[in-house]
């Protein structure tokens, strides 16, 4: 079994290490075995209970079949504050490959494992992180859930329920040993407050060897103000190199894999795209950028690459006004922009010499706690510039009015052959030019949740 060396250090030093990856000392931990577990399914499985089964099943197929696994851990009455917490699962995939398992928090509920079914399943709240499951043999996987467990203990929670859901649609199932398995039950491991986290070295992303070289200065802090996910959402994210300051009012996406960004939000890519972020203002001085947002991009494809992944953000379920911009100043009538947001057609246009960017604004409904941006098969040379998301859907007209003349509004051009026709949220009237100021601010360092796989 893989082991991590644990060192005991004073509490004040432990607090300085809290933002790093962590390991735990096994001899002082409290190990909570799962108190109740079950999976539920929609469709033909909606009225069936799967509370006394092993393994638990998690899947989300394109045909519409979805199953989710619920895990409840009862907290001891004398539980003291903790310095760390991790969820530990014995899991595998049904068929060869790798699947992403998303772990989410759950609203307080008195659900019973021998009663719970899809129509009465507890509601999801926020995403805590994801685990990559690979291999058809069971292995142990871990996820750091320290912040969430500390919040729950401080609030006096008597139990903690988590739900495992499939990140993307896939015909492959993720299978998790349940408490009926005997020796491989799900576990929640709590680390006493006097045990310090252990620093784990991280692998840096590969150097940027394609296109212009990005500066090597330290990543700026990400200070754009946003409302917490539990309240009204007014969120703006710019796709750019991590080393650049963000445009005024924007958060940074630098191509990192989906996870907690340290700014109250969890978002990112299904694969690492940090080496595909570009700053076009350094090599396209002749191009007139409406503002700084249009001068930075992240590739979803590079040259002959096939689609290398999608981007997503965790959001409370509901309707959102979404503005998305894609394009690139270095391309001239070569880019084919066919994209979906929340599984709805969103962009379906070709780039032209007079319209180097394509934008649209639509109302998108989030039903599974996550909004996803993905390319269609017709896409070619796609680069994302920025995205804006608002829970106030009445903002659609004003957002459309902000689109500059250098951008084509999806649905007003020739479209993309074979793409689904754009509908809802587009306009045929050219809005006035954008007057957003190009101010630059710095932010807090990003905190990324590390996911470690343990091998028995």
Q: What share of the chain is helix, strand, coil (3-state, %, to 5)?
A: 10, 40, 50
> In this structure, are residues 379 and 339 in contact, taking their beta carbons and an 8 Å threshold?
yes
Q: What is the pLDDT of residue 436?
A: 29
Of 17 and 391, the structure prediction assigns the larger pLDDT to 391
On the question of pLDDT at 260 being above 50, the answer is: yes
Alpha carbon distance 296, 282 (integer Å): 10
Residue 414 tokens read as 């020739």
Same domain for 21 and 170, yes or no, is: yes
Q: How far is CA 394 from the centre of its chain?
A: 26
Kindly state whether residues 357 and 401 are assigned to the same domain.
Answer: yes
69 close to 176: Cβ distance less than 8 angstroms: yes
- Higher-scoring residue by pLDDT: 363, 349: 363
In this structure, the answer to whether residues 134 and 244 fall within a common structural domain is no
The pLDDT of 361-376, averaged and rounded, is 88
State whether 36 and 118 are in the same domain: yes
Instruction: Please tell me the predicted confidence (pLDDT) of residue 198.
Output: 46
Among 176, 200, 224, identify where a domain stops.
200
pLDDT tens, 127-153?
999 899 988 889 999 999 999 999 999
Q: Are 32 and 189 in contact (CB under 8 A)?
A: yes
DSSP string, 47-65: T--BSS-SSEEEEE-TTS-
Beta bridge partners of 67: 41, 59
Does 221 fall in a domain?
A: no
Highest mean pLDDT among 221-230, 267-276, 360-369: 360-369
Q: Does the residue 347 lie in any domain? A: yes
Report the alpha-carbon distance of residue 359 to residue 355 in Å, rounded: 10
131 and 46 within one domain: yes
The dihedrals phi and psi of 113, each to the nearest 5 degrees, come to -65, -25
Rounded CA separation 259/313 (Å)? 9
Evaluate if residue 247 carries a pLDDT over 70: yes
Q: End of a domain among 178, 200, 222?
A: 200
Q: Which residues contact 151 (CB under 8 A, 6 or more apart)?
A: none
User: Which residues make beta-bridge pairs with 384?
Assistant: 298, 326
Report which listed range, 75-79, 274-278, 325-329, is most confident.
Answer: 75-79
**pLDDT value, residue 114:** 92
Q: Which of 399, 214, 267 is nearest to 322 (CA)?
A: 399
- Is residue 229 in a domain? no
Residue 112 covered by a domain = yes
**Claim to verify: residue 329 and residue 421 sit in the same structural domain:** yes
**Residue 213 predicted with pLDDT over 50:** no
pTM of the predicted protein model: 0.46
- Mean pLDDT taken over the chain: 76
State whether 386 and 241 are in the same domain: yes
pLDDT tens digits, 278-291: 888 766 555 677 88
At 289-346, the pLDDT tens digits run 788 899 899 988 655 555 456 899 999 999 999 999 988 877 654 566 667 887 788 8
DSSP code for 444: B
Give yes or no: residues 251 and 186 share one domain: no
Sorting pLDDT into bands at 50, 70 and 90, what band is 426? very low
Name the residue range of residue 388's domain: 234-441
In the chain, what percentage of residues exceed pLDDT 70? Answer: 70
Two tokens, residue 340: 């979906």
320 and 177 together in one domain: no
Could you tell me if 205 and 274 are in contact, meaning their C-beta atoms sit under 8 angstroms apart? yes
Query: What is the spatial distance between Cα 322 and Cα 393, in angstroms, rounded to a whole number?
Result: 9
Residue 436 lies in a domain: yes
Q: Same structural domain for residues 193 and 290?
A: no
Q: What is the spatial distance between Cα 193 and Cα 195, in angstroms, rounded to a whole number? A: 6
Burial of 404 per CB tally in 10 Å (0-12, 13-18, 19+): buried
What is the band of 399 on the pLDDT scale with cuts at 50, 70, 90?
very high
Whether residue 239 is found in the same domain as residue 196: no
449 found inside a domain: no
Q: Which of 141, 176, 200 is the last residue of a domain?
A: 200
Number of domains in the chain: 2
134 lies in some domain: yes
CB 322 within 8 A of CB 340: no
* More confident call, 32 vs 300: 32
pLDDT for 151: 92
| 175 within a domain of the structure (yes/no) | yes
Q: Does pLDDT of 406 surpass 50? A: yes
CATH of the domain at 245: 2.60.120.430
Residues 28 and 173 occupy one common structural domain = yes
As a whole number, mean pLDDT of residues 182-196 equals 80
CATH of the domain at 159: 2.60.120
């Amino acid at each position: 079994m893989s082991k991590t060396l644990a060192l005991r250090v004073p509490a004040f030093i432990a607090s300085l290490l809290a933002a790093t990856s962590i390991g735990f000392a096994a001899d002082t931990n409290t190990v909570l075995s799962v108190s109740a577990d079950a999976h539920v399914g929609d469709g033909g499985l909606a009225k069936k209970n799967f509370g006394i089964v092993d393994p638990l099943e998690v899947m989300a197929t394109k045909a519409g079949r979805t199953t989710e696994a619920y895990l409840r851990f009862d907290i001891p009455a004398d539980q003291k504050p903790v310095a760390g917490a991790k969820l530990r699962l014995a899991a595998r995939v049904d068929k060869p490959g790798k699947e992403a398992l998303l772990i989410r928090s759950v609203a307080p509920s008195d659900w019973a494992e021998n009663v719970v079914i899809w129509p009465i399943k507890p509601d999801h709240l926020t995403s805590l992180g994801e685990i990559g499951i690979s291999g058809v043999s069971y292995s142990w996987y871990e996820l750091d859930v320290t912040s969430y467990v500390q919040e729950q203990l401080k609030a006096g929670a008597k139990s903690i329920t988590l739900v495992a859901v499939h990140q993307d649609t896939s015909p492959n199932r993720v299978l998790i040993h349940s408490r009926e398995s005997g020796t491989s039950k799900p576990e929640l491991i709590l680390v006493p407050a006097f045990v310090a986290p252990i620093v784990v070295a991280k692998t840096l992303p590969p150097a940027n060897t394609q296109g212009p070289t990005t500066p090597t200065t330290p990543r700026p802090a990400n200070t754009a103000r946003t409302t917490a996910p539990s309240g009204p959402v007014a969120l703006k994210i710019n796709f750019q190199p991590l080393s650049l300051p963000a445009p005024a009012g924007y958060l940074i996406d630098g191509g990192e894999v989906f996870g907690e960004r340290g700014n109250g939000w969890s978002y990112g890519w299904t694969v690492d795209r940090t080496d595909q972020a570009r700053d076009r203002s350094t090599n396209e001085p002749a191009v007139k950028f409406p503002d700084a947002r249009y001068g930075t991009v992240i590739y979803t494809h590079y040259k002959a690459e096939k689609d290398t992944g999608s981007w997503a953000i965790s959001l409370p379920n509901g309707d959102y006004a979404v503005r998305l911009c894609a394009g690139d100043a270095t391309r001239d009538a070569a880019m084919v922009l066919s994209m979906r947001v929340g599984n709805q057609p969103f962009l379906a246009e070709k780039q032209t010499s007079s319209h180097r960017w394509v934008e649209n604004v639509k109302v998108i409904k989030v039903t599974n706690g996550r909004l996803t941006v993905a390319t269609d098969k017709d896409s070619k040379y796609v680069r994302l510039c920025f995205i804006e998301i608002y829970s106030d859907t009445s903002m659609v007209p004003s957002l459309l009015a902000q689109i500059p003349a250098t951008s084509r509004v999806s649905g007003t051009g020739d479209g993309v052959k074979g793409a689904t026709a754009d509908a809802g949220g587009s306009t045929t009237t050219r809005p006035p030019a954008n007057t957003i100021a190009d101010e630059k601010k710095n932010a807090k360092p990003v905190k990324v949740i590390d996911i470690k796989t343990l091998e028995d």
